[in-house]
Structure 1
Amino acid sequence: MSDAAKKKTGKGELRETIVIIVQALLIALVFRTFAFEPFSIPTASMQSNLMIGDYILASKYSYGYSRYSLPYSEVPWNGRIMGNAPQRGDIAVIRPVPQSENYVKRVIGLPGDEVQMIDGRLTINGETVPREEVGTTVDRDSTGVDIPVTEYRETLPNGVSYVTQEISDNAQFDNTGVYTVPPGHYFMMGDNRDRSLDSRSLSSVGYVPFENFVGKAQWRFFSIQDNIPPWQIWRWPGNVRFDRMFTSVYQ
């Protein structure tokens, strides 16, 4: 083969490689924009269901699409298309109105609901949500502070059941007034009740508009202790929580 032919072949292979890379990047962008987006869990607010260092995939299509579902929320577009209403008990990625970053919380109150905390007990529309004590454990927050907690299995009116954690029944948001959820909004709470900043704080999170839902949390695909960066592969031994990988967030 002549030098000219070799150069032509080399250019053709380089062009083909570039095309493959561009196609792969486009597929990844479309996947992230319209199908699933990864998120990390940096705080203790959803423990022990979602632990610090869990990495999850949230489905964009579950609730339809708004500007908060897109990679750039600054897009001048209001409303939601192909929207499916969140269900009570869903774990959702949201963008609270006063905040500039995403939160992960559980849907507790639907539009029109009346939600209140009385002595650490959740009430919805005047009815106390059943809870059953399941044991005690130690909860560690993002600063490494360990606190004994009691775990309860809480069951919402639609039958969705999950485990909550309480340091006590007399913490800051364990006794509140009645929150009346406005039309088109949702009341969100963390499962780690005394270590969660959520809709109970109207000034920090408050009622979340449907438009501000990013996606529905679906699966854990990776989990590592103490927020260790996942690229530090040499620290994986003894720190990766293999039993939490590739599992549903609703287990």
Structure 2
Amino acid sequence: MAETAEKKQNPIIETIKTIVYALLIAGIFRTLFFQPFWIPSGSMKDTLLIGDFVFVNKMAYGYSYASCPSLRLPQFGIDIDAQDVCGMFDGDNTRLWGGEPERGDVIVFRHPGNGAEFIKRLIGMPGDTIQMRQGRLHINGEPVPVEDAGNFEEIYERQGPQGRYPACENGPVGEGAVCLKSRQRETLPNGRTHNILNVGNRVLDNTPVYSVPEGEYMFIGDNRDNSTDSRVPLAARGVGFVPYENLIGRADRVMFSSAGRSMFFFWTWRGDRFFKAIE
């Protein structure tokens, strides 16, 4: 009888083991190699759109405490932060097998204040001076070259899970109308080029001169007038400078993209963004 009972338990035990092993393998894969990242806001348009799904290359810059994955499911009361799992490695601003990022990389990093995961473009390297003057980026006192790239068009409607409306240079416009932003092609000192968007004259179009400390970096969104980034200091509830150890990985390619409220709404997937390289 005991042997029969044991046999009846085996399928349940085996199922539990399979689930545990699968979670362990997924956790190791996500910690060491690639982390999925869903673009929640429009701060990186038109490089990244709301609803883009990217895999972040965690091998690009080596590993730190920030490489440990966070798991936040507030609807289930789950809030596990990378600091909770790997906090013992935090504090020395170093990385294991560390690699240097390059100016222009699109990087996912941990916010130095609240630990939230952000994705922005690396603009300021350690030792640089960075300033915005009348909407023009200046690096080490020199204006970064730009050229006109036409207008970026989108429909004025609620976008993504957050249901926010886009900002329009030709606004205000009504629901369903065409929303326009000026688009320029920006070339960084190392030759990297990317598009930037402009909505109008905004506060962050003119900033003080920022001196990037050693071991830290400065990040700015491509959607220049609609981005919370390093142009606002951490003390003023911005991002401020980001320590080397807070880098999570480099975003190289959009795997697929959904224009709807959920990535599972396959009928809203954008057919032109499958496996699209990120400039």
**TM-score normalised by length of structure 1:** 0.87
Q: How far apart in 1 are the matches of 2:110 and 2:18?
A: 35
* 1:242–1:5 Cα change, 3 Å: farther
Tell me the alpha carbon deviations over residues 2-26 of structure 1, each in whole angstroms, 9 at most, x when there is no partner.
Answer: xx99999877666655554443322
Of 34, 37, 48 in structure 2, the residue corresponding to residue 36 of structure 1 is 34
Equivalent in the alignment of 1:242: 271
Q: Which secondary structure does the structure 1 equivalent of 2:22 belong to?
A: helix
| Pair 1:143-2:143 in alignment | no
1:230 counterpart = 2:263: yes
**Mean Cα displacement is larger for which, 53-62 or 140-149?**
140-149
Q: Which residue among 98, 105, 122 is the counterpart of 1:90?
A: 105
1:188–1:198 CA contact under 8 A, matched in 2: yes
Task: Please give the per-residue CA displacement for 1:204-249, whole angstroms capped at 9, x wherever unaligned.
Answer: 11111111111111221221114x1223x4xx32x11122122222
What is the rounded CA distance, in whole Å, between the counterparts of 2:111 and 2:10 in structure 1?
50
Q: Which runs of 5+ in 2 are unaligned?
A: 70-81, 169-179
Q: Which amino acid aligns with 1:143?
A: R
What's the counterpart of residue 187 of structure 2?
155
Matched, 1:53 2:51: yes
How far residue 109 of structure 1 moved from its aligned partner, in angstroms, is: 0.5
| Residue 184 of structure 1: aligned partner | 215
Q: 1:218 aligns with which of 228, 233, 252?
A: 252
Aligned pairs for 1:75-114 (under 5 A) are 75-78=87-90, 79=92, 80-114=95-129
Q: Does the 8 A contact of 1:138 with 1:146 survive in 2?
A: no
What do residues 163-221 of structure 1 show as CA deviations (whole Å, max 9, x unaligned)? Answer: 110112x2111111111001101010000000011100013111111111111112212
1:211 counterpart letter in structure 2 = E
- Tell me the number of residue pairs that the alignment of Structure 1 and Structure 2 aligns: 242
> Residues 77-103 of structure 1, C-alpha deviation per residue, up to 9 Å, x if partnerless?
223221111110000011121233111
Deviation at 1:29, TM superposition (A): 1.2
TM-score when normalising by structure 2: 0.79
Q: What is the percentage of aligned positions where both structures have the same residue?
A: 41
Q: Is the aligned partner of 1:73 residue 2:83?
A: yes
Distance, in Å, in 1 between the alignment partners of 2:143 and 2:226 is 21
Q: Secondary structure at the match of 1:76?
A: helix
Q: CA deviation at 1:138?
A: 3.0
| Residue identity opposite 1:84 in structure 2 | G
Residue 127 in structure 1 maps to residue 160 in structure 2: no
Long gaps (5+) in structure 1: none
Residue 230 (structure 2) aligns with: 199
Take 1:173 and 1:99, find their aligned partners in 2: how far apart are those partners? 22
Contact 1:99 1:205 in 2 (8 A): no
